[in-house]
Amino acid sequence: MVKIIFNFIFAAIVFSTNLFAQESIVQKTDSSGIYKLTDVVISATKTQSSTLELANSISIIDSSEISNKVTFNIFDALKNEYGLSFTQQGNKSGVSNVFIRGANSSHTLVLIDGVEVNLPNDPSNFYDFANLSIENVDRIEVLRGPQSTLYGSDALAGVINIITIKGSEKPVISLKAEGGSYNTFKGILSSTGSIEKFNYSIALSRIKSDGFSAASEKYGNTEKDGQQSDNINANIVYNFSETFNSNILLRFNKAESDLDQSIGTPDIWDDPTYIFKQQEFFVRGQGQLSLFKNNWDQTFGITFFRNVRKYSYDTSNVSIFYPDYVHDYSWSTYDGRKYKFDWLNYLQLNKLFLFTAGVDFEINEYYSDYYAFNYTPDPNNPDIVNNIPKEDVKSIGIFLQDQFNVGESFFGTIGIRLDNVNQFGTTFTYRIAPAYVFWQTGTKIKATIGTGFKAPSLFYLYDPTYGNESLNPEKSFGLDAGIEQFFGSSDFSAGANYFYNKFDDMFGFDPISFKTINIKKAETNGIEIFTKVVLIDQIDVKANYTYTNAKDKSENTVDYDKRLVRRPEHKAGLFASYSYYDNLNINMELFYVGTREEVDFANFPNRIVLPDYFLVNLAAHYDLYSFLRLQGRIENLFDIQYEEVYGYGTAGFSVYGGISLRME
């Protein structure tokens, strides 16, 4: 059945191409530079740019798709994007990773309204999507390829930018409630609006679920691992004049979830005492000033971000039910903070050139406490106390970018950046991204080439056991080339990309001292095929396929030339949405994930191959009245049994339903 569906996805792409092959080409709509079938994005250049004029490989999950999918969180919304793969350790509160083009999850920079939220208190500085709610989100931009020229550290493989709703028109209050499988409840209270010079959007939400065992039930684990997450997010803007405005961005998350123990084998994972707690908060104040008839725009802001994670377990009281447990307990706290000041300048010299220049100063702070004790003293298994006192790293970066337009056919971006980090010195990165549009055929050819870097985390620098203050940054070189075909009047576009990435000086561990060293290398390459089409006025279809060849290139290691773990070679997706007037939508999401390799830690260095799988999700909503919406969602329609991470459970057939009230 998987092969049948997989072939169906390719057929959908080919069918769409043939169906509209003779339709008229894309055209400019007017002299303002707005084009049919294109979107305006921010992430690619930090300016509002038409996707038609960009060489960047960027895709958008817009507000309509988010609303129609009735998706649970942002992590679920990202799964069907090309070039992305993902893993989740157990239920929706488990560690949730996103990989862009086969790179590590820590090589993706995650932004919320431009605020960097990668975790300063995690060893790899990755971002965990588990508790990132989708309420108040207007759109998500996925930018592929090295982006350090604009964003500095962490953007070796790409950027995911989450953009929240901005208030407009008269105030509206919304109340949503949803319930379903695994005794799940989700409640949301939100409001958006504009009052004279003041506009706002704010949302409060709670998610609670009994969940299922994080350790897969197929290995005999039955204890449920529940979760609760409370979220607040707000975007508040005040327009002082036509040339100056200020806004405050705020986001807060408090989460608690049950986890299961793991030693790399599913034999003894179930743990009813393992608890994870998190508090995450950021606030950003920024101002925007326009001078010289909008030819010089400036944005300046100050950001504070903090993430606190706590883990604890105590197996002394469960030995009757779990006699094989070592009777011990532990607790740990990881506290990370980030302070950032940034100043951006946009200078429009003429219609041909737009210069962007910026400077940012950042301080990352981190401390941790880790304690693990045995109730019964054991000289072969001593107590562990591992503390990192408060440490910090300071960095400053400056960049310059030029966007050019020659003859309204040749578009491009050139950028350079210098970053100075007090731990290792100066790093230079660059990016070149030209594109050419053939108007007579509606064809765009494009290419990008660039570099990226990742500063070592505070854990890798200062941990008493694994730290090494002499580390250099990880580095990446990436290129891609592609073609896109646009058919303006038929609402159809299709494209294909080839990509290649090389990663050097990646962090690993010395096999003798266990200290972190720059030892690893990796290469990834592949092909992305994607299409978007409006078959008739009511039916929208997105289809994509990604082939990823991700290899470990670390010489003199057991993993040399092996596939990077948890990266599928083949991944395909289809999203089809049917709307009847403005009050009914029915949609289907389908994706296929190929085989992945996992390290078998119980029999190291052997590997395990996880089988491929295919999932179908359905969603619908109906506006009974202008103020009342009914909505529902079915996940894993065919109750497929699969694993994203070896030994961890996944949800079976699940049903959710709810209502939404809108009050003006």
> Residue 460: enclosing H or E segment and its boundaries?
helix 458-462
| pLDDT on residue 23 | 40
SS (H, E, C) 596-645: EEEECHHHCCCEEEECCEEEEEEEEEEEEECCEEEEEEEECCCCCCCCCC
Find the mean pLDDT for residues 369-377.
72
What is the C-alpha separation between 415 and 244, in angstroms, rounded?
Answer: 27
| pLDDT on residue 590 | 96
For residues 66 and 43, the answer to whether their CB atoms sit within 8 Å is: no
In this prediction the pTM is: 0.92
Cα–Cα–Cα angle for 452, 112, 291, nearest 5°? 85
- pLDDT (tens digit, 9 = 90+) per residue, 212-237? 999 888 888 888 999 999 999 999 99
| pLDDT on residue 267 | 56
Q: Per residue in 573-583, is it b (16+ CB within 10 Å) or e — as a string?
A: bbbbbbbeeee
547 SS3 class: strand
| pLDDT on residue 203 | 96
Query: Which stretch of 16-30, 163-177, 485-499 has the lowest confidence by average pLDDT?
Result: 16-30
* Residue that wins the pLDDT comparison between 285 and 381: 285
| pLDDT on residue 293 | 85
Average pLDDT, the chain: 89
With pLDDT > 90 as the criterion, what percentage of the chain qualifies?
72
| pLDDT on residue 19 | 41
Chain mean position to CA 357: 26
Main-chain phi, psi angles of 260, to 5 degrees: -125, 150
Q: Which of 269, 83, 237 is nearest to 165 (CA)?
A: 237
Please give the radius of gyration of the chain, using alpha carbons only, rounded to the nearest integer. Answer: 25
175 SS3 class: strand
Main-chain phi, psi angles of 148, to 5 degrees: -65, -25
78 SS3 class: helix
For residues 122 and 459, the answer to whether their CB atoms sit within 8 Å is: yes
DSSP 156: S
| pLDDT on residue 257 | 95
DSSP 476-517: EEEEEEEEEEEEGGGTEEEEEEEEEEEEEEEEEE-TTT--EE
Main-chain phi, psi angles of 157, to 5 degrees: -115, -20
Tell me, what amino acid is at 556?
Answer: N
Give yes or no for residue 10 having a pLDDT over 60.
Answer: no
Task: Tell me the β-bridge partners of 418.
Answer: 398, 428
DSSP 154: T
Q: What Å distances lie between residue 310 and 8, 590, 635, CA to CA?
A: 45, 36, 31
- pLDDT (tens digit, 9 = 90+) per residue, 24-51? 344 444 333 334 446 888 999 999 898 9
Banded pLDDT at 326 (limits 50, 70, 90): low
Q: Does residue 605 have a cis peptide bond before it, meaning omega lies within 30 degrees of 0? A: yes
Q: Which of 533, 445, 522 is nearest to 491 (CA)?
A: 533
CATH H-level, domain 2-663: superfamily:
TonB-dependent receptor, beta-barrel domain (2.40.170.20)
- pLDDT (tens digit, 9 = 90+) per residue, 68-87? 998 889 999 999 999 999 99
Find the mean pLDDT for residues 441-451.
96
Give yes or no for residue 336 having a pLDDT over 80.
Answer: yes
121 SS3 class: coil
Structure tokens at 487: 């058919």
Give yes or no for residue 155 having a pLDDT over 90.
Answer: yes
For residues 596 and 610, the answer to whether their CB atoms sit within 8 Å is: yes
| pLDDT on residue 40 | 87
| pLDDT on residue 381 | 61
- pLDDT (tens digit, 9 = 90+) per residue, 495-531? 999 999 999 999 999 888 889 999 999 999 999 999 9
Structure tokens at 476: 């990446």
DSSP 395-437: EEEEEEEEEEEETTTEEEEEEEEEEEETTTEEEEEEEEEEEEE
Find the mean pLDDT for residues 436-450.
95
Task: Tell me the β-bridge partners of 619.
Answer: 587, 633
DSSP 2-30: HHHHHHHHHHHHHHHHHHTTTSPPP-B-S
The distance in angstroms from the start CA to the end CA of the chain is 48
- pLDDT (tens digit, 9 = 90+) per residue, 549-607? 999 999 988 899 999 999 999 999 999 999 998 899 999 999 999 999 998 877 878 89
Number of CB atoms found within 10 A of residue 603's CB: 11
| pLDDT on residue 266 | 53
Segments in 33-118 forming alpha helices (H):
63-69, 74-78
Give yes or no for residue 425 having a pLDDT over 80.
Answer: yes
What is the C-alpha separation between 311 and 259, in angstroms, rounded?
Answer: 9
| pLDDT on residue 268 | 52
* Residue that wins the pLDDT comparison between 376 and 107: 107
Find the mean pLDDT for residues 385-411.
92
Structure tokens at 548: 């990823």
Q: Are strands 474-487 and 443-454 parallel, antiparallel or unpaired?
A: antiparallel
Query: Which stretch of 47-61, 85-99, 311-325, 566-580 has the lowest confidence by average pLDDT?
Result: 311-325
Q: Which of 480, 435, 419, 428 is nearest to 102 (CA)?
A: 480
